[in-house]
Amino acid sequence: MDMTPGMWLSRLITELGTRQERYQLLDRYHRSDAPMPPGPTNRKRQRTQDNFANYDNKFDPFETLRRISRVNWADMIVEALIERMKVLGFTSGSEGNEQEDARAWAYWQANDLDTALPQLLRTKGALSEAYMIVGPVDERINAPRITCEDPRQTITEHDPVDRRRVLAALKVYGDEVAGVDRAYLYLPNPDGPALLYRATRERAADTKAMLYTADRWEFEPAEELPTVDVPVVWFPNRADLFGRTMGEFEHVLDDLNRIAMLVLHRMQITMLQAFRQRAAIGKFPEKDGAGNVIDYDALFSGDPAAFWLLDSGTQMWESSGLDLSPILEAVKADVRELAGRTRTPLYYLYPDSGGSAEGAVTQREGLIFRAAARITETEGPLERVMALTFEAAGETPSADMETVWLRPDLATLSERYDAASKALAAGLPHRTVWREILQYSQQEIERIEAGRAAMAASAPVLPAPAAA
């Protein structure tokens, strides 16, 4: 059965709605708003909340402890990865296509993807997926427009036989200024270029959130796109063969909750037992000789300058000091487990964690392997984006175009120059050495070549040696 645009819109927006709860939960962990850890029931506090309709728990001391007991480990896990994922340029894989490489990098720069790509990688790592959309040539940047998209607003459906083929794609968002919801539906066209269907619907006056329903949409006439394939590219994170994705910290949510609970318990114990308690043991009358009730709180003031008069038979007692080391060690043990399960060096999560230099190297290798795996799963979609960009610009890119990444091991400058000298001695082309070993960007390589050409042009021409 052929699917109409309305049927595709209904199918995709419904599926997008089912994903929102998961996205919002992951986003809360990533944005320092994770669910607060539970604590023991306080009946007095609960009665207070029940008896006052306008009770504001922001001023509840226990609620304050619950809020500040959360540590944003999730953001650290994602950021440690992004630091080692940087695109330096594109190459056709063979010498002689420098102009094409330069055009690819020009399209990249025109869309400010040096700034946008970390945002996409951050969303991909936190929410488990992200998207890019390639549009027609934008005269303002003189290049096809490339945008990075959030999975809470964008969705694709893929051919179950060939997952690289997009059957349909949808982007929806609420236009708060115009008071409407907008939808952009991308569909392939057997007879030519892909088609874009724009649709809008009026928002109810009391509706603030997007409704993931298929009713009341009004379609505009379809418009042809400059690409044959649907120009929406999916960037999955840790996808399996069923297309299911997983965020960088999604598999350790229980670990994050357990650590937050331990931190909460430590703070509760500290608040209740950190100060030593004193007591006077003896017989103390309720009233003085004149029949007045004795205010012992005033007599036994906690002021440092207070002076107490005690009966000769009175004994003083003081509670022992509080030892928090067991619970602190428990937190450290859970953080170490978290670091191991996410392949994040412990020093990212727990500064001054100690350990041997050999152990630090081993931890760093785990992060390098994780970064290399994410680079591998990202470069295919990026190369697909660049192929669509060339097509939108009316050009045909080389079939072997590749993405050039900064090496995730972050080798030192001396190590890179030592490797470069050996590679040049072995006969590798200068551009290859600059790009693959020295990790120069496309712009840096162009400046070097321009400088070398200028130096060659200005060099004095020496006369030929006289004949003997």
135-191 pLDDT, tens digit each: 999 999 999 999 999 999 999 999 999 988 999 999 999 998 888 999 999 999 998
Residue 295, SS3?
coil
Q: How far is C-alpha 256 from the geometric centre of its chain's CA atoms?
A: 16
Residue 462: predicted pLDDT: 63
Share of the chain above pLDDT 70, in %: 86
Q: What is the C-alpha to C-alpha distance for residues 133 and 287, in angstroms, rounded to an integer?
A: 83
* Residue 247: half-sphere exposure toward Cβ, Cα within 13 Å: 27
Residue 189: predicted pLDDT: 94
Scanning the structure block, which residue is given the tokens 């350990």?
Answer: 355
Q: What is the C-alpha to C-alpha distance for residues 244 and 256, in angstroms, rounded to an integer?
A: 22
Instruction: Report pLDDT digits (tens) over 290-310.
Output: 888 888 777 777 777 777 777
Q: What is the C-alpha to C-alpha distance for residues 291 and 287, in angstroms, rounded to an integer?
A: 5
Domain boundaries, the chain: 411-454
211 in Cβ contact with 203 (< 8 Å): no
Say if residue 48's pLDDT is above 80. no
Identify the helix (H) or strand (E) that includes residue 197: strand 192-202
Residue 413: predicted pLDDT: 65
Instruction: Report pLDDT digits (tens) over 89-142.
Output: 888 866 667 788 889 999 999 999 999 999 999 999 999 999 999 999 999 999
Residue 435: predicted pLDDT: 67
Q: What is the C-alpha to C-alpha distance for residues 78 and 73, in angstroms, rounded to an integer?
A: 9
Q: What is the pTM of this model?
A: 0.81
Residue 56: predicted pLDDT: 53
Choose among 24, 101, 118, 191: nearest CA to 431.
101
Residue 397: predicted pLDDT: 79
Q: What is the C-alpha to C-alpha distance for residues 328 and 299, in angstroms, rounded to an integer?
A: 38
Give the confidence band of 42 by pLDDT, cuts at 50, 70, 90. Answer: low
Question: If you write DSSP's letter for every residue of 9-45 in order, what string do you get?
Answer: HHHHHHHHHHHHHHHHHHHHHHTT-PPPPP----HHH
- In one letter, which amino acid is 95? E
- Taking residue 196's Cβ as centre, other Cβ atoms within 10 Å add up to 19
Q: What is the C-alpha to C-alpha distance for residues 59 and 52, in angstroms, rounded to an integer?
A: 14
In the 8-state DSSP scheme, what is residue 145?
A: E
Instruction: Report pLDDT digits (tens) over 354-412.
Output: 555 555 666 788 999 999 999 999 999 999 999 999 999 999 877 788 898 988 886 66
- Residue 352 to residues 146, 187, 320, 348: CA-CA distances in angstroms? 42, 53, 29, 9
Residue 319, SS3?
coil
Alpha-helix runs per DSSP H in 308-395: 325-342, 346-349, 357-392
Q: What is the C-alpha to C-alpha distance for residues 118 and 122, in angstroms, rounded to an integer?
A: 6
Choose among 387, 442, 413: nearest CA to 114.
442
